[in-house]
Structure formats: structure tokens, C-alpha cells
Structure 1
Amino acid sequence: MIAGPVATRALALLGADVLRIDAPGLPEIDWQFLDTCQGKRSTVVDLRTDLPVFHELISNTDIIITGYRPGALERLGTHAREIRPGIVYGRVSAWGEHGPWGDRRGFDSIVQAASGISLIEVAHDNSQREPFVGALPAQALDHASGYLLAAGVLDALSARSLDGFGRDVRVALARTASWLLTAPGRRTDHPQPAIPDVRYAISHGSVRTAVPVLAEYPDHPWPAPGYGSSTPAWKVRPDGSS
């Protein structure tokens, strides 16, 4: 829900033409869309009826990033590597692509509960009595996984420039949780959540969000567009290519 959009927002910040594709009838939470779709374009494609449109987009792209469960696109008949052999295919899932939970749905708060983060946080916050309400004050696994995915995609593009081969980049929220829990210097006696310093926030209309994580960029290229406001096509470059 958030990790993939965070990754592509970071790539848009670095100059990529990012086209976000949603299914019709499944709009996201308004403020969440306004935050994570900054610097992108937005379109709507029904993969059950308009799969050729989706395949045409894939055939002319460098990167595809998905947040579906492993194998979901393949079950719809989309094999990105066959359509575009040199593509960098970034995938984010809750539990990874292998193991007994590989085909399960999931999102940040569930993974926080399964990994023990919720229990740690409820023990820290004595005002809460039930483990399931003990969670980090932000979707930390989503955001961390999103930036890790963007970094992996950049590494894959760099490697492709040398050998011409596409790559798969896979990120799992559960792996990010394990990494954060075992990170050196982690403390359980952290301060209670507080409103962020105004120096690190920026407003677009009624929505106030954090500034870009890369310090050299004071803001994203442009605010989030209207939901589904773009046609399903890539921008035309000055040389006539897309």
C-alpha cells in the first residue's frame, strides 16, 4: 500500500517518468495518495479487460514496480521479462516470495505484530493494554522497504548499463522488520511520538507531508495529480522517443 509508492516517489524525485497504475473502483485514501503520488502521473487500467494496454506500457519501460502478492501479475498473463527482456522488475511483498507465508496478503501493521514490534511498543507505552495496538507511530516498515527497493532498482539500472541484463529486485516487509529489530544501536527507551519539526514538513493545499528524504531536494517535482488524470502512455522525449 505504501512501500511501492514510496519507492517510485523517490525515483520520480531523481527524474524518472513515473506512471502510477491503479485498478478502477479501488481509489486509495485521499491524503495517502496526495502524499505518495507526488512527482508522478496517475492512470487507471483494468488488467482484467485492458491487458494489452498494460503490456504496451511494459514493452517501453525501464522499470516496473509492483506491490501485489508474488505471482499475481503472472496469473493474469503478464510475464514482464518476456515482454521486455531488459526490464528491472522491483517487487515488494509482506512476507517474501518463499516459505509458508509467501502467498499471504499483508501490510505494515500486520508485519509489525507478527515480528514482535507491536509487543515491544506496547510494553514501552504503558497507556496501552492490548498488544495489537502497540505499533510504531509511523508505517516504518513500508517507508524503509520503499527506500531499500528504490536503492536496489538504482543498483540494478547501474549494472544493466554495463552488461545489458535486466534484474529482479525483491523486498519484503518481514525482512525489513528483522533487519530493524537487529540493527546495532536500537533502543527501546525512545521518546514518545511527537509532531515533526516544521523545518522538515511542507504543505500542498490541505495536506502537510514530510520533505523529501534526500536533503538536496526541498520538495518533489510537483504535487500529486488528480487520481487517474493521465492517459496510459509514456511521455514523449525531445528526441521523439518515449
Structure 2
Amino acid sequence: MTNQYTAWTALGGDPALLPAVTAVGRAGTLSSKLPVRELARTCVGACALAAAELGARRTGRAGVPGVRVDDGAVAAAFHSERLLRVDGRAPVAFAPLSRFWRTADGWVRTHANYPHHRARLLGALGLSPDAPAPEVAGVLAGRSALEVEETVYRAGGLAVALRTPAGWAAHEQAAEVAARPLVESERLAPAPPRVLPPLDPAAAPLLPAAGLRVLDLTRVLAGPVATRTLALLGADVLRLDAPELPELPDQHADTGFGKRSATLDLGADRDTFEKLLASADVVVTGYRPGALDRFGLSPRALAERRPGLVVAQVSAWGGYGPWGERRGFDSLVQVATGIAATEGTAGEPGALPAQALDHGTGYLLAAAVLRAVTEQSYDGHARGVRLALARTALWLTREVRPEPAPDDAPDPGPDAWLAETDSDLGRLRHALPPVSFAGGPTDWARPSAPWGTDPAAWD
């Protein structure tokens, strides 16, 4: 289990616990030129083992519960945003202007799912706010990919030129990413060891994160996947969004399971945030690096105000290097890092079979939080953990190895790992959680609620 060893030790885990993990392979799942199935299986396995470890710590068990990773469940979860149905309606995936475009010398990919990103893209190209796709294509066809990348970035939009793996390796940001570990972790400030209330070993299900309060300041998609997983494991997760930046409805429906959703203006209502922070155990952020610092929400500033806090951060490019403050999404990281070129055919770019950088990083981020909480129960230090999609991409392209599971069983298709539940959003069909360990939860305690409809307060 070379891949599992790499991920687990990157999280600071004890390799002696790895025999608790078993895998069920499913032929043909997440088929790709790159080892996506292995990456997905490894990330989910590491998260489940971290949950099992914390559960053992809190119940006083001598050994960790057994972890079972099924490729079929993992594949369904990695496609959760595509498999979602709301009253039978398929979700809206990418907006019309979020796609590949030919340029004068290659290809560029844009991201314009949010209205403000669409407006910035069109403004950067000198087009009207309602410009149709053919008009955009005509402008881009006359410009170089790198020119488009820089012009749109300076306007606050999102566009990335297609690079080969060698082209990315020669980029300064790639060197910065390669110099970092898969999972960055640091002690922020000393504090008394966290005394976690013991859990009843006979209780069902075993919820290792029960009693933890998590402030969720994330968007699209890795951060929400991480906090959705913490909610599955019993954490009280409160997602906070700026009232002027509503989440895309289908995206919220997919990643909102187990959570509550509130709006809060961090600039105008700091008192409310500070009250929430005063009894929070974990803060998870997924905004562009530095974007929250002006609100006093850097990891060290948070840890100073709330001793023993765990601060988890996820970004596209990492909070360092020339691209450290750039926005980004899974699809754009694939384009920059050479993945889209590798997955392409006949001179056209391609894509991974799922947004695997987002989902994989999300499960690793949840695992990092769980491991930090376990370590805090011994030494009490506030901890910061940080992951980046670009570093996960490096892991996928250079380090993950093909490793067929011991039992390569047929894939019955995603329906075997789907469930339906009623909610205030309508009837939701959704992928079941892939994080599985003996005695653990098999579904979320609550479905997704409408965006921004909960109070900004703890239960």
C-alpha cells in the first residue's frame, strides 16, 4: 500500500495503523491515463483511518476500527456534483463561458460559473456583459494563450493557458509547489491539551468528531467536501458566506449535507463572528490566500484569539510563489499543470474523469483536521494545516502509483451508492459518503438546507 503509506505519513499518522485499511477494487471506475482511481481510493482511505483513529482515542479502544474503502463508493462520491438530482432535475454543471477555447497559439480555459467572474472575464476581453460565446471565441482566437491568462487575471477573472507537463515544470510556481509537502502542518501556539469528552464505545453510529464546532468559510469544492465529511462524522458545522456572494444552488445542495448555512458580513458584524470563534474548535477556509487576512482571520491571528484552535486552509495554487494569491479551481489547475494535455487526444485538451483534485484534496483536508484534533488531545497546541490543489496535482502526476485493489470486482454502477432524502430544497438524490469504518455513520444526519437560511449561531 505504497500510496496509502505516502498519504498517511504526510498527515503525520503512525504507519502501524495502516493494516486496518482494506480496499475493494471495482474494475473500470475513474478510468484515466493518470492513476485517478488510486488517488481517490488513497485520499478516502486516509480520511477514514484518521476518523477511526480519533474514534479509538475517544472511546478508549486499544485498536482502531477497521476501515473499508470501496472503489465504487469512492467513484460515486467523486462524481457527487454530477449525480445529484433535485426533484429529478439534473444539476447545472459548467456555465457556457466555462470551457476550453482555441487561441492564436494554443488553448486557454476560462471559469465563469459565478456572475462576477463572468463579468470580469468579458470586461477583460473588451466585450459587453451579454456577449455570446461565438463573440468570445472570435476575440480569443486572435490572442495568445499567455496574453489572455495575464489580461484576465489582472481584471480579477479566471483564465489559464494550457501547458504541457514540461511547460509547467519549468514555471516558477511549479518549483514552489514541488518544494512543499503534500500536507503542510505547523504548531501555531501552545495551549493545554484538549480534553475531548469520551464517547460510548457501544453507541451507534460512532461519531469521532461529535462535539466539535467547525466554522466553514469555504467555497467550491475541496473545502466544502472537507466540511461535509466532518459533518458526517458528527461535527457541528456552520457555513458562513458573505450575503452578497450567494453560492450556486446545485453546488450548495451537493456539498451542504450535514451542515447549517448562514450569512455574515465579516466587515460589518465582527462581534457575531468573534462570539462564534470564541467557542469554535476548527476553522476551515477556502478563499484565495490572503483574502481573509484583512479581517484578522490569518491562522496565527485566529489561534491567538482562540487557544487550541485548528485552522485548516485549502487553495488552488498554494499560499506562496508568484501565483500564491491567484484564484483558481480544479479545472484550471488541471490545465496549468499539464494534466489536461496528458488527458487530451488528437491535439485537443482533455480532463480527468472527475474533479479529482477537488475531491481528493477535500478528503485529505478533512483527514488533516481529524489528525490535528487527535494530536491536540496529547499536547494541546493550536495547529495550522494547509493543502493546495496544485500540490495534489503534482502527487497525481509524479508520485501516485498504479495499485490494483486485492479484489477487483465488477462495478455495478453508481446507483448502488446513491440515496434519496426529502429536504427543504426538494427531493434530493445524492451520493452516499465513501468514508467507511466499523461502527461509523453511513449517511448524514441532516440533508442540505437552503443557502443562508440558518442563524449565525451555534446549535
Name the TM-score, length of structure 2 as normaliser: 0.46
**Residue deviations 1:120-178 (CA, integer Å, cap 9, x gap):** 1212xx5xx632xx212321111101100000011110111111111001010001111
Q: Which of 357, 373, 382 is the equivalent residue of 1:157?
A: 373
Residue 117 of structure 1 and its aligned partner are, at CA, apart by 1.1
Instruction: Report SS of the residue matched to 1:72.
Output: coil
After TM superposition, list the pairs within 5 Å mapping 1:110-125 onto structure 2: 110-123=332-345
Partner of 1:71: 290
| Structure 1 residues 195 and 83: alpha-carbon distance in aligned structure 2, compared to 1, 3 A threshold | farther
8 Å Cα contact 1:31-1:207 kept in structure 2: no
Q: Which of 443, 447, 454 is the equivalent residue of 1:219?
A: 443
8 Å Cα contact 1:94-1:172 kept in structure 2: yes
8 Å Cα contact 1:37-1:225 kept in structure 2: yes
| Structure 1 residues 55 and 107: alpha-carbon distance in aligned structure 2, compared to 1, 3 A threshold | same
8 Å Cα contact 1:88-1:156 kept in structure 2: yes
Letter in 2 for 1:231: P
Residues of 1 paired with 2:353 and 2:430: CA distance?
A: 15
Structure 1 residue 50 and structure 2 residue 269: aligned? yes
Residues of 1 paired with 2:275 and 2:243: CA distance?
A: 19
After TM superposition, list the pairs within 5 Å mapping 1:195-214 onto structure 2: 196-204=413-421, 205-214=426-435
Partner of 1:6: 225
Percent identical: 52
Partner of 2:306: 84
Partner of 1:230: 454
Letter in 1 for 2:303: R
Structure 1 residue 140 and structure 2 residue 364: aligned? no
Letter in 2 for 1:144: G
8 Å Cα contact 2:296-2:302 kept in structure 1: no
Partner of 1:40: 259
Residues of 2 paired with 1:141 and 1:58: CA distance?
A: 29
Partner of 1:238: none
**Residue deviations 1:47-99 (CA, integer Å, cap 9, x gap):** 12112211221111000000012222222233311221210000001111111
Residue 25 of structure 1 and its aligned partner are, at CA, apart by 2.4
8 Å Cα contact 2:281-2:310 kept in structure 1: yes
Letter in 2 for 1:119: A
Residue 195 of structure 1 and its aligned partner are, at CA, apart by 10
Residue 22 of structure 1 and its aligned partner are, at CA, apart by 0.7
Residues of 1 paired with 2:412 and 2:237: CA distance?
A: 30
Per mean C-alpha deviation after superposition, the further-off stretch among 62-71 and 199-208 is 199-208
8 Å Cα contact 2:289-2:325 kept in structure 1: yes
Residues of 1 paired with 2:354 and 2:430: CA distance?
A: 13
Q: Which runs of 5+ in 2 are unaligned?
A: 1-219, 405-410
| Structure 1 residues 135 and 206: alpha-carbon distance in aligned structure 2, compared to 1, 3 A threshold | farther
8 Å Cα contact 1:23-1:45 kept in structure 2: yes
Residues of 1 paired with 2:359 and 2:443: CA distance?
A: 17
Letter in 1 for 2:355: Q
Residues of 1 paired with 2:363 and 2:293: CA distance?
A: 25
Residue 101 of structure 1 and its aligned partner are, at CA, apart by 1.0
Instruction: Report SS of the residue matched to 1:136.
Output: coil
Name the TM-score, length of structure 1 as normaliser: 0.86
8 Å Cα contact 1:33-1:224 kept in structure 2: yes
| Structure 1 residues 100 and 196: alpha-carbon distance in aligned structure 2, compared to 1, 3 A threshold | farther
Residues of 2 paired with 1:15 and 1:217: CA distance?
A: 9
**Residue deviations 1:171-210 (CA, integer Å, cap 9, x gap):** 10001111111211189xxxxxx99420012233444321
Letter in 2 for 1:154: L
8 Å Cα contact 1:4-1:146 kept in structure 2: yes
Letter in 2 for 1:214: V
8 Å Cα contact 1:48-1:76 kept in structure 2: yes
